[in-house]
Amino acid sequence: MGGTVSRINRDATAKSQRGTEESPLVKWLLIGVCGLFLAVFLLLPLVNVFVQSLAKGWQVYWASLHEPDSVSAIKLTLLVAAIVVPLNTLFGVCAAWAIAKFEFRGKSLLITLIDLPFAVSPVVAGLIYVIMFGLQGYLGPWLDSHNIRIILAVPGIVLATIFVTFPFVARELIPVMQATGREQEEAALTLGAGAWKTFWHVTLPSVKWGLLYGIILCNARAMGEFGAVSVVSGHISGVTNTMPLHVEKLYNEYQGPAAFAVASLLALLALFTLGLKTLLEWKQRRDYALAQQTTIVEPAQTV
């Protein structure tokens, strides 16, 4: 089947000499500019991160990752992601469901609100929570008297990260859910399935790739978030420093190789995420191609 598809693609490119097409010069110039831009601004720095982190050898690299503050930062980052990603997945599914399946007043407002974190600077997101829960904030004194710490503590970091990352899952799911429509779910209902079973057996499987894609993006951002977390965390080494904050701190303390080592770990996480994302995209495309491929077989003549 793969052979067929690639052959079709080749035919398509061969026949694409339309009258409206730009000249080859323009085409390659544009592609060249993109390639050069990405190489200079993305690829080169990325390679540099790894080169710098290994500048003093593997042992220094290893030691700087094993240093207690680094370990604590890695653990904190993983913990935050472990709390934030499931919560935002739940929220994203609920929001996408509501938007795709129901008609209600204020729907477009809800969609706009979901997009808000994309529009607002992360620093503002962090400040919002400081104003809410900080000692000088509205709820600060009450929380303090009950010995609950949110700002300059892990709960604040979690809240800020949730704020920044909540659009990812919903944004991915809304178009997928809108495209699948309600018919399959109604079919499940007529076959006796309740709401939960319909969701579990019919709705969820039909959006699984979109959902996974959303989760991956959400996770990448949750681990990499700097601005919002920086405002609420207080940068207490070994306590409230996440990996991005720790990188900054190490760098400011002129511990170049250590900073780059932790940064390389973050970059590796990002690369891993990108790889997963590409894999999912490829799988989704393949499923789509499979669905498009029509193996029409004449109905068996038995009745």
Partner 1 sequence: MSIELKNVTKKFGAVSAVNDVSFSVKPGELMALLGPSGGGKTTVLRMIAGLEVPTSGDIFINNDRVNDRSVQQRNIGFVFQNYALFKNMNVFKNIAFGLKIKKWRRRDIKARVAELVKLFGLEGLEKRYAHQLSGGQRQRVAIARALAPKPSVLLLDEPFGAVDAKIRQELREWLVTLHHELNVTTIFVTHDQEEAMEVSNRIVIFSRGDLEQIGTPREVYEQPANEFVARFIGVMNVLNTEVQGGVARVGELQFDALGQPDGTKLRIGFRPYAVQVSTDLNLFPYRAVLSRTYFLGIMLRLEFDLPSGLVLRSRMTKEEYAQLGLEDGKEVSLQIRNYRVLAAEEAGLPPEREIAHRPPPTIAEHI
- Which residues make up the interface to partner 1 (CB under 8 A)? 183-184, 186-194, 197, 201-202, 205-206, 208, 290-303
How many whole angstroms separate alpha carbon 303 and alpha carbon 298?
A: 14
Q: How far is the CB of 172 from partner 1 (least distance, A)?
A: 18
Please, which residue, 21 or 287, has the CB nearer to partner 1?
A: 287
Q: How far is the CB of 4 from partner 1 (least distance, A)?
A: 15
Q: How far is the CB of 133 from partner 1 (least distance, A)?
A: 43
Q: Which two tokens stand for residue 227?
A: 């601005």
Q: How far is the CB of 173 from partner 1 (least distance, A)?
A: 16
Please, which residue, 109 or 300, has the CB nearer to partner 1?
A: 300
Please, which residue, 65 or 189, has the CB nearer to partner 1?
A: 189
CB atoms within 10 A of CB 69: 17
- 51-to-16, 147, 255, 258 alpha-carbon distances in Å: 43, 46, 15, 12
Q: How far is the CB of 294 from partner 1 (least distance, A)?
A: 7
How many whole angstroms separate alpha carbon 8 and alpha carbon 171?
A: 32
Q: In terms of Cα–Cα distance, which of 105, 128, 104 is closest to 116?
A: 128
Q: How far is the CB of 293 from partner 1 (least distance, A)?
A: 7
Q: How far is the CB of 192 from partner 1 (least distance, A)?
A: 5
Please, which residue, 36 or 290, has the CB nearer to partner 1?
A: 290
Q: In terms of Cα–Cα distance, which of 123, 65, 115 is closest to 95?
A: 115
CB contact set of 69 (below 8 Å; sequence gap of 6+): 237, 238, 241, 246
Please, which residue, 12 or 300, has the CB nearer to partner 1?
A: 300
Please, which residue, 17 or 292, has the CB nearer to partner 1?
A: 292
How many whole angstroms separate alpha carbon 186 and alpha carbon 251?
A: 57
Residue pair 56/258 in contact by the 8 Å Cβ criterion: no
Q: How far is the CB of 11 from partner 1 (least distance, A)?
A: 23
Q: In terms of Cα–Cα distance, which of 212, 244, 239, 217 is closest to 229?
A: 244
Q: How far is the CB of 95 from partner 1 (least distance, A)?
A: 23
Please, which residue, 157 or 207, has the CB nearer to partner 1?
A: 207
Q: In terms of Cα–Cα distance, which of 72, 73, 65, 78 is closest to 219?
A: 78
Q: Any idea how long the chain is?
A: 303
Please, which residue, 119 or 291, has the CB nearer to partner 1?
A: 291
Residue pair 262/54 in contact by the 8 Å Cβ criterion: no
CB contact set of 228 (below 8 Å; sequence gap of 6+): 122, 123, 125, 126, 160, 161, 163, 164
Please, which residue, 109 or 303, has the CB nearer to partner 1?
A: 303
- C-alpha of 220 from chain center: 5
